[in-house]
């Protein structure tokens, strides 16, 4: 569950709930060069998605779930 | 303090506007229809009128026409309506309104108009 | 709850009440225009008020109702029973939403599928009653924002201009669109979805991403922000700005079901074949298309497809594939290849190419998809323009419009003054005080000439820079209205806007005399009520305070006694007593006055009966004439309120079981229309309500048999019971006379429940029935429950109160006269055997009752319906008037006590409820 923060990477695990959006936003603000690893992510709440859309960190790896990935790529893949 | 007369037969709408306007520092009086509004302006003219259209006894158009026929300082009037058609708007301007706004009026939309018509609005 | 919401609830309830009354009145006078006008106004006000809150479903229903009423009022539809039924149902829905709000204490109700579905249904049925209008409203004359907000998303979508969808689909890659095109030719259907969750949706526990991911079979998807993201530091993660768009093969029903919680945040549009061929790509200016177009159109016209295909392929070869014209060629070739028989789409596409690629050749204005409309306008010579905020523009624009009016009403001077005042204020805001002196001169001239021209001239000169920038915006806006940008088309946000007509000239041209409106609206008459509304809790507080004051006042005699006996100042004691009698009188009057405030007329409950009787009788197919009398009879609010449910039940019973159908009545030699009367009157300190019908009455034999079958009475009683006693068995618990459970009264609630409800407010009920002729129920209730006369008794060394209403008499029974029958203490009182119970046993106090010196026990004879029960106590003391307060908190659930009261000496008296003790 939740997120693991490494030096310049945040790994999102399983499901990222709405209450994590604030934390994610703050961490990304402190780490403007950070990358996001979504390979273990099964779902993330739309609030988190908004944070990613607004801050546009580089996505290091996409989720396994094709439906989720399709939607995320529609928003985040350039 | 600038005085505003809110004319509407719906108590909820009156209270709603009163809260917005009082919070912005205006003195607010209420009238439940055009006739009562005409009585209120006998006592003293106001600096601005917020007028509903559809009211019993004397509607908003009737009130505005009567107001504009009075020999007294004329203040701007905002007609607040639910009708978005050009003809309704036209009728309001003919009767003597200076602005035509659609309900529901959100404070952030209403206040700049009120402040501008009172000459108090400042760009933020 | 905030005061605004409270005001809203209270005003809305009043309006709904009045709407119901007006509808029933219209039933007898369907052509009464004044009535109709007032009905419209009520619905209109209700809708206007709801607009101030977040109540999409309620607004949807009220909007449909208002629309319908407007057509009725204008004579385009006529009043009908069906219409009344629908409107009443709509009001029931609104009432239910109000109840929800009341309970939640907030206007932001959680989404509820049932509620949304009901709202859609109701709005739909109301809309169906509205006659089709021959002339559709034009896009320019309506405000799209308010329309889409109030109508269901689906309908709005269907009514929307095709151009919207072009723009939405233009962002879909050409390959995807071509693929869709081919699948649609093969018979598949697709919908385009735009889901814009409301900003606060995260706070309602919604996850729009989860919602959208669940949609199956997507052909395309896009995710964007409704407005540019704010700077990262200012980002609010919990303000939802997302916009989801996708194309799905799911059917409409499935989609509506999927988005049932957020129908107003979703647009669902079917995709038509001709929505898809949109040329997309970079613009160019080097490809000579004019020649191609000319020959292509000629070929198409002559049906010479081979040469059209040939020339199109050539053009495609000549142009870079990423150019828009290349895209157009690919589409044209696809259309010709897949639909060689039907060339309408191909012709439309060619027309479009001509508009886009060769605007000079056509007189038609460029559409928003192609040329930049705003650029075109600003290329025209313009005065220096200064951008200002939209509301100032709106004000200036509107004043210009007013000055352009070419009428000459009596109030022209007043109008000119008001315009001048508005302009003065606006220019002060613009920091242009220097212009104000000339403005005054212009005003004076205008007044002298009684013509707006001088003011108009002033505004034309001095307002030009601002109005010019506004004109640009207007022009851009206009071209958007003709072919709205996706943002506008998909926005369901209902932000209010100042409605500005396109230009002053246009406005004047479209000016219509609003005479019809003036006449009618002025005639609307309405009697304003002279009463004020007070929250019930405030009156309750007053009631409590006066109760405390009466108790506090009662301490004065003690004080006087102490002054005399303990301190030996007799003069002071006398003065205290004199003051006491004054305070006593005032307190009594005050109490009386407060009680008066709490009095309500029984019409408070009666008013819903006409509708109840009408609806129920309709449902049962019976003809019923309702007579109500004494509606102004008053009683305490609590008493009146407690009456509502029992009365409804009694009336339903009467209609369901008592009154016969017209045929049955004729057969019995009665008039076909049944009579139901509800009469109220005051009798000394009680209110009596009689409900009588001339129906089939109650058959005592049927009752006897049923009661026996159900084990309520034994064989002996079966024979011994008088007819009246038998009839009274309907009040026995578990008795229900209906042969079959009916939809109306047979809800497992019997007359025993009615009896208990009446007994709870110290009332009694009495039933008389003559078989074949009818039934009469008589309820007798106290006028007020606030002050109770209680008897103070003593038991186990404590004092208790018993309501005098429950006490039939007090007697002393010698110990010798108490016998045990089957473990049950009994005694004989005036020739009847009466069971006896010890209060200490009933209260669980582990002490024997104490007899007096003559070996006699004090017995409280308590009336329980038609039986008497003796309660053994240690002693009966005086009776007092007290203000009974229900026990609070968990004590409130103890049935043995009716409540507590403060006595004059400051002690607390627990008042026993004998019925609850058993």
Question: Would you state the structure tokens that stand for residue C94, as one six-digit string?
Answer: 């609104």
Q: What gap in Å lies between CA A50 and CA A21, rounded to an integer?
A: 9
Rg value, chain C, Cα? 40
Please determine, for residue C485, whether its predicted confidence score (pLDDT) is greater than 60: no
Question: Would you state the structure tokens that stand for residue C886, as one six-digit string?
Answer: 């229900």
Determine, for residues A54 and C235 on separate chains, whether the beta-carbon distance falls below 8 Å: yes
φ, ψ of residue C109 to 5 degrees: the values are: -80, 145
Going by C-beta distance under 8 Å and a sequence separation of 6 or more, which residues neighbour residue C99? none
| A17 inside 8 A of chain C by CB | no
Of A46, A55, A70, the CB nearest to C207: A46
Q: What gap in Å lies between CA A78 and CA A57, rounded to an integer?
A: 12
Q: What gap in Å lies between CA C791 and CA C898, rounded to an integer?
A: 13
User: How far does B68 lie from chain C, in Å, by closest CA?
Assistant: 4
CA C874 to chain centre: 57
| C235 inside 8 A of chain A by CB | yes
Of C41, C407, C512, the CB nearest to B54: C41
**Which of B 18-37 lie inside 8 A of C, CB atoms?**
19, 32
B70: chain C residues, CB-CB within 8 Å = 414
Question: Would you state the structure tokens that stand for residue C758, as one six-digit string?
Answer: 């009446």
Which residue is associated with the tokens 């109770």? C788
Q: Choose among C76, C89, C84: nearest CA to C26.
A: C84
Q: What gap in Å lies between CA C56 and CA C149, rounded to an integer?
A: 8
Of A25, A43, A51, the CB nearest to C210: A43
B108: chain C residues, CB-CB within 8 Å = none
- What burial class does residue C661 get, using C-beta atoms within 10 Å of its C-beta: 0-12 exposed, 13-18 middle, 19+ buried? middle
Report the residue of chain C nearest B88, measured CA to CA. Answer: C514
Strand order in the sheet with C856-864: C807-814, C856-864, C867-873, C832-838, C824-829, C819-821
Confidence of residue B86 (pLDDT cuts 50, 70, 90): confident
Chains B and A touch (3+ CB pairs under 8 A): no
Chains A and C touch (3+ CB pairs under 8 A): yes
Which residue is associated with the tokens 């109301």? C126
| B73 inside 8 A of chain C by CB | yes
φ, ψ of residue C898 to 5 degrees: the values are: -80, -25
Q: What is the pTM of this model?
A: 0.41
Taking residue C297's Cβ as centre, other Cβ atoms within 10 Å add up to 16
**Which of B 84-103 lie inside 8 A of C, CB atoms?**
84-91, 93-94, 96, 98-103
Contact indicator for C129, C83 with CB cutoff of 8 Å: yes
Of A18, A53, A71, the CB nearest to C202: A18
Query: Does ipTM come in above 0.85?
Result: yes
C18: chain B residues, CB-CB within 8 Å = none
C45: chain B residues, CB-CB within 8 Å = 9-10, 54
- What burial class does residue C68 get, using C-beta atoms within 10 Å of its C-beta: 0-12 exposed, 13-18 middle, 19+ buried? buried
| B124 inside 8 A of chain C by CB | no
Please state, for a pLDDT cut of 90, what percent of chain C lies above it: 5
Of B16, B32, B103, the CB nearest to C496: B103
Confidence at residue C468, expressed as pLDDT on a 0 to 100 scale: 62
Please determine, for residue C278, whether its predicted confidence score (pLDDT) is greater than 70: yes
Chains B and C touch (3+ CB pairs under 8 A): yes
| B75 inside 8 A of chain C by CB | yes
Cα→Cα distances C254→B79, C111, C249, C490, Å: 43, 18, 10, 21
Q: What gap in Å lies between CA C480 and CA C489, rounded to an integer?
A: 10
Tell me if residue C632 falls in helix, strand or coil.
coil
| C250 inside 8 A of chain A by CB | no
Contact indicator for C817, C827 with CB cutoff of 8 Å: yes
Taking residue C816's Cβ as centre, other Cβ atoms within 10 Å add up to 8
Q: What gap in Å lies between CA C225 and CA A51, rounded to an integer?
A: 11
Confidence of residue C419 (pLDDT cuts 50, 70, 90): very high
β-strands B77-81, B99-102 pairing: parallel
Task: Calculate mean pLDDT across residues C743-756.
Answer: 58
Report the residue of chain C nearest A52, measured CA to CA. Answer: C237
Q: What gap in Å lies between CA C843 and CA C838, rounded to an integer?
A: 9
- Which residue would you say has higher pLDDT here, A10 or C734? A10
Q: What gap in Å lies between CA C117 and CA C98, rounded to an integer?
A: 17
What is the interface size between B and C, counted as CB pairs within 8 Å? 194
Please determine, for residue B6, whether its predicted confidence score (pLDDT) is greater than 90: yes
The CATH number of domain B3-117 is 3.50.50.60: no
Which of C107, C135, C394, C422 should one mutate to test binding to chain B, selecting the residue with the greatest count of B CBs within 10 A?
C422
Q: Which residues pair with C814 in a beta bridge?
A: C856
pLDDT tens-digit series, residues C660-718:
888 889 998 889 899 999 999 887 778 899 999 998 888 888 888 888 887 777 777 77
Task: Calculate mean pLDDT across residues C531-536.
Answer: 72
Determine, for residues B119 and C514 on separate chains, whether the beta-carbon distance falls below 8 Å: no
| B40 inside 8 A of chain C by CB | no
| A43 inside 8 A of chain C by CB | yes
Q: What gap in Å lies between CA B114 and CA B49, rounded to an integer?
A: 9
Q: What gap in Å lies between CA C236 and CA C247, rounded to an integer?
A: 29
At C91, which helix (H) or strand (E)?
A: helix C81-104
Q: What gap in Å lies between CA C370 and CA C707, rounded to an integer?
A: 86
Tell me if residue C713 falls in helix, strand or coil.
coil
Question: Would you state the structure tokens that stand for residue C734, as one six-digit string?
Answer: 């578990």
Taking residue C540's Cβ as centre, other Cβ atoms within 10 Å add up to 14
Q: What gap in Å lies between CA C558 and CA C536, rounded to an integer?
A: 34
β-strands A41-44, A9-16 pairing: parallel
B91: chain C residues, CB-CB within 8 Å = 514, 517
| C52 inside 8 A of chain B by CB | yes
Question: Would you state the structure tokens that stand for residue C673, as one six-digit string?
Answer: 């229309």
At C399, which helix (H) or strand (E)?
A: helix C390-404
B partners (3+ CB pairs within 8 A) are C
Determine, for residues B68 and C47 on separate chains, whether the beta-carbon distance falls below 8 Å: no
Q: Choose among C475, C484, C537, C536: nearest CA to C506.
A: C475
Going by C-beta distance under 8 Å and a sequence separation of 6 or more, which residues neighbour residue B108? none
Of B32, B82, B123, the CB nearest to C528: B32
Task: Calculate mean pLDDT across residues C51-74.
Answer: 83
DSSP C499-526: ---S-HHHHHHT----HHHHHHHHH---
Peptide bond into C114 cis (omega under 30): no
β-strands C832-838, C867-873 pairing: parallel
Please determine, for residue C342, whether its predicted confidence score (pLDDT) is greater than 80: no
Confidence at residue C200, expressed as pLDDT on a 0 to 100 scale: 84
Please determine, for residue B14, whether its predicted confidence score (pLDDT) is greater than 70: yes
Q: What gap in Å lies between CA C154 and CA B7, rounded to an integer?
A: 36
C221: chain A residues, CB-CB within 8 Å = 70-71, 74
φ, ψ of residue B92 to 5 degrees: the values are: -65, -45
| C202 inside 8 A of chain A by CB | yes
Task: Calculate mean pLDDT across residues C115-126.
Answer: 83
pLDDT tens-digit series, residues B31-82:
999 999 998 888 888 999 999 988 888 889 999 999 999 888 899 999 998 7
Please determine, for residue C588, whether its predicted confidence score (pLDDT) is greater than 60: yes
Q: What gap in Å lies between CA C330 and CA C349, rounded to an integer?
A: 11
Q: What gap in Å lies between CA C838 and CA C347, rounded to an integer?
A: 101
C510: chain B residues, CB-CB within 8 Å = 86-87, 90
| A1 inside 8 A of chain C by CB | no
pLDDT tens-digit series, residues C294-332:
788 888 877 788 888 888 888 888 778 888 888 888 988
Tell me if residue C11 falls in helix, strand or coil.
helix
CA C328 to chain centre: 52
Task: For CA atoms A26, A29, A30, A35, give the dihedral sign.
Answer: positive
Q: Choose among A47, B111, A33, B113: nearest CA to C210.
A: A47
Which residue is associated with the tokens 């198409």? C300
Confidence at residue B45, expressed as pLDDT on a 0 to 100 scale: 86
Confidence at residue C145, expressed as pLDDT on a 0 to 100 scale: 41
Taking residue A23's Cβ as centre, other Cβ atoms within 10 Å add up to 17
Confidence at residue C516, expressed as pLDDT on a 0 to 100 scale: 31
| B123 inside 8 A of chain C by CB | yes
User: How far does A6 lie from chain C, in Å, by closest CA?
Assistant: 21
**Which of C 266-325 lie inside 8 A of A, CB atoms?**
none
| A55 inside 8 A of chain C by CB | yes
Q: What gap in Å lies between CA A5 and CA A25, rounded to an integer?
A: 13
| A53 inside 8 A of chain C by CB | yes
Average model confidence (pLDDT) across chain C: 77
The single-letter DSSP state of residue C137 is P
- What burial class does residue C207 get, using C-beta atoms within 10 Å of its C-beta: 0-12 exposed, 13-18 middle, 19+ buried? buried
φ, ψ of residue B112 to 5 degrees: the values are: -60, -35
Q: What gap in Å lies between CA C112 and CA C92, rounded to an integer?
A: 17
Q: What gap in Å lies between CA B91 and CA B97, rounded to an integer?
A: 9
Task: Calculate mean pLDDT across residues C18-34.
Answer: 83
Determine, for residues C241 and A25 on separate chains, whether the beta-carbon distance falls below 8 Å: no
Which of B47, B49, B93 should one mutate to test binding to chain C, selecting the residue with the greatest count of C CBs within 10 A?
B93
Q: What gap in Å lies between CA C682 and CA C170, rounded to an integer?
A: 77
Lowest mean pLDDT among C248-252, C394-398, C588-592, C865-869: C865-869
- Which residue would you say has higher pLDDT here, B54 or C288? B54
Contact indicator for C265, C283 with CB cutoff of 8 Å: no
Determine, for residues A29 and C242 on separate chains, whether the beta-carbon distance falls below 8 Å: no
Please state, for a pLDDT cut of 70, what percent of chain C lies above it: 81
DSSP C771-784: TTTEEEEEEEEES-
Q: Choose among A10, A55, B53, B103: nearest CA to C499.
A: B103
Q: Which residues pair with C794 in a beta bridge?
A: C799, C875
Q: Choose among C690, C689, C678: nearest CA to C625.
A: C678
Task: For CA atoms C162, C163, C164, C165, give the dihedral sign.
Answer: positive
| C63 inside 8 A of chain B by CB | no
Q: What gap in Å lies between CA C323 and CA C283, rounded to an integer?
A: 6
Of C48, C498, C512, the CB nearest to B82: C48
Domain ranges of chain B: 3-117
């Amino acid at each position: 569950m939740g997120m693991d923060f490494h030096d310049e990477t945040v790994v999102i695990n399983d499901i990222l709930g709405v209450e994590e959006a604030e934390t994610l936003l703050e961490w990304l603000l402190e780490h403007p060069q950070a990358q996001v690893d979504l390979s273990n992510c099964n779902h993330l709440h739309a609030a988190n998605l908004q944070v990613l859309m607004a801050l546009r960190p580089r996505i290091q790896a996409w989720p396994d779930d094709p439906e989720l990935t399709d939607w995320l790529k529609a928003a985040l893949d350039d | 303090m600038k005085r505003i007369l809110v004319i509407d037969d719906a108590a909820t709408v009156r209270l709603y506007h009163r809260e917005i306007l009082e919070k912005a520092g205006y003195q607010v009086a209420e009238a439940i229809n055009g006739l009562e509004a005409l009585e209120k302006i006998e006592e003293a003219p106001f600096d601005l009128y917020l007028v509903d259209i559809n009211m019993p006894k004397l509607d908003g158009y009737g009130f505005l026409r009567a107001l504009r026929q009075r020999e007294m300082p004329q203040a701007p009037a905002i007609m607040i309506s639910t009708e978005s058609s050009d003809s309704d708007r036209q009728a309001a301007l003919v009767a003597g309104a200076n602005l035509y706004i659609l309900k529901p009026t959100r404070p952030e939309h209403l206040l700049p108009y009120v402040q501008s018509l009172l000459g108090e609005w400042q760009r933020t | 709850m905030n005061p605004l919401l409270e005001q809203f609830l209270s005003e809305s309830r009043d309006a709904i009440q009045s709407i119901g009354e007006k509808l029933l009145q219209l039933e007898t006078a369907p052509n009464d225009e004044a009535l109709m006008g007032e009905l419209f106004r009520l619905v209109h006000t209700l809708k206007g008020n709801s607009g101030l809150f977040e109540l999409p479903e309620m607004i949807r229903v009220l909007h449909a109702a208002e629309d319908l009423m407007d057509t009725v009022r204008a004579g385009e539809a006529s009043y009908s029973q069906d219409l009344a039924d629908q409107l009443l149902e709509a009001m029931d829905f609104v009432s239910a939403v109000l109840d929800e709000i009341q309970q939640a204490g907030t206007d932001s109700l959680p989404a509820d599928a049932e509620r949304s579905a009901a709202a859609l249904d109701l709005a739909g049925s109301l809309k169906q009653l509205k006659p089709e209008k021959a002339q559709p409203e034009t896009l320019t004359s309506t405000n799209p924002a308010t329309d889409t907000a109030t109508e269901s998303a689906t309908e709005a979508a269907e009514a929307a201009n095709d151009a919207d969808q072009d723009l939405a689909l233009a962002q879909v890659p050409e390959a995807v669109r071509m693929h869709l095109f081919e699948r649609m030719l093969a018979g598949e259907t697709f919908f385009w979805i735009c889901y814009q969750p409301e900003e606060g949706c995260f706070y309602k526990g919604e996850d729009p991403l989860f919602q959208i991911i669940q949609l199956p079979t997507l052909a395309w998807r896009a995710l964007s922000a409704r407005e540019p993201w704010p700077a990262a530091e200012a980002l609010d993660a919990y303000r939802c700005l997302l916009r989801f768009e996708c194309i799905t093969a799911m059917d409409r029903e499935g989609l509506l079901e999927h988005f049932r919680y957020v129908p107003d945040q979703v647009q669902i549009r079917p995709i038509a074949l001709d929505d898809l061929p949109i040329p997309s790509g970079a613009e160019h200016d080097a490809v000579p298309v004019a020649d191609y177009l000319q020959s292509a159109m000629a070929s198409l016209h002559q049906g010479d497809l081979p040469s059209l295909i040939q020339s199109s392929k050539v053009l495609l070869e000549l142009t870079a594939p990423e150019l828009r014209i290349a895209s157009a060629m690919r589409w044209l070739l696809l259309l010709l290849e897949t639909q060689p028989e039907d060339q309408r789409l191909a012709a439309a596409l060619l027309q479009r190419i001509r508009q886009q690629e060769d605007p000079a050749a056509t007189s038609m204005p460029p559409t928003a998809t192609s040329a930049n409309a705003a650029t075109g306008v600003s290329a025209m010579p313009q005065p220096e323009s200064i951008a200002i905020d939209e509301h100032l523009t709106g004000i200036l624009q509107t004043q210009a419009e007013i000055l352009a009016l070419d009428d000459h009403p009596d109030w022209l001077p007043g109008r000119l003054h008001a315009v001048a005042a508005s302009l003065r204020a606006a220019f002060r805001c613009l920091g242009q005080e220097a212009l104000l002196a000339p403005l005054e001169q212009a005003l004076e001239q205008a007044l002298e000439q009684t013509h707006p021209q001088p003011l108009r001239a002033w505004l034309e000169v001095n307002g030009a820079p601002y109005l010019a920038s506004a004109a640009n915006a207007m022009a851009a806006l206009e071209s958007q209205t003709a072919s709205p940008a996706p943002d506008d088309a998909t926005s369901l946000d209902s932000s209010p806007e100042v409605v500005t007509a396109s230009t002053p000239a246009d406005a004047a041209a479209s000016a219509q005399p609003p005479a019809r409106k003036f006449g009618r609206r002025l005639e609307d008459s309405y009697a304003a009520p002279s009463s004020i509304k007070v929250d019930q809790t405030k009156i309750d507080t007053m009631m409590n305070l006066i109760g405390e004051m009466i108790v506090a006042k009662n301490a004065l005699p003690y004080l006087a006694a102490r002054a005399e006996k303990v301190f030996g100042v007799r003069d002071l004691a006398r003065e205290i007593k004199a003051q006491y009698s004054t305070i006593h009188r005032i307190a009594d009057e005050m109490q009386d006055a407060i009680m008066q405030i709490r009095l309500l007329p029984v019409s408070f409950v009666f008013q819903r009966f006409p509708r109840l009787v009408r609806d129920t009788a309709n449902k049962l197919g019976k003809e019923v004439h309702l007579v109500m009398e004494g509606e102004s009879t008053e009683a305490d609010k609590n008493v009146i309120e407690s009456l509502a449910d029992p009365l409804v039940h009694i009336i339903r019973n009467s209609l369901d079981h008592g009154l016969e159908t017209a045929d049955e009545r004729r057969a019995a030699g009665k008039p076909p229309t049944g009579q139901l009367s509800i009469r109220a009157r005051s009798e000394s300190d009680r209110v009596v309500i009689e409900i009588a019908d001339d129906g089939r009455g109650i058959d005592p034999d049927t009752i006897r048999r049923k009661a026996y079958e159900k084990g309520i009475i034994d064989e002996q009683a079966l024979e011994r019971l008088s007819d009246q006693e038998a009839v009274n068995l309907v009040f026995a618990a578990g008795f229900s006379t209906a042969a079959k459970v009916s939809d109306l009264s047979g809800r497992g609630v019997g007359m025993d429940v009615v009896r208990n409800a009446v007994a709870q407010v110290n009332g009694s009920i009495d039933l008389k029935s003559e078989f074949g002729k009818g039934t009469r129920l008589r309820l007798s209730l106290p006028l007020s429950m606030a002050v109770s006369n209680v008897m103070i008794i003593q038991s186990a060394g404590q004092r208790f109160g018993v309501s005098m209403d429950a006490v039939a008499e007090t007697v002393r029974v010698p110990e010798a006269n108490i016998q045990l029958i089957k473990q049950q203490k009994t005694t004989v009182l005036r020739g009847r055997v009466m069971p006896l119970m010890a209060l200490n046993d009933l209260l669980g106090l582990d002490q024997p009752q104490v007899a007096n010196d003559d070996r006699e026990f004090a017995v409280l004879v308590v009336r329980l319906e038609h039986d008497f029960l003796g309660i053994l106590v240690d002693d009966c003391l005086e009776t007092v008037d007290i203000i009974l307060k229900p026990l609070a908190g968990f004590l409130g659930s103890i049935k043995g006590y009716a409540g507590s009261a403060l006595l004059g000496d400051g002690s607390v008296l627990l008042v026993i409820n004998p019925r609850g003790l058993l």
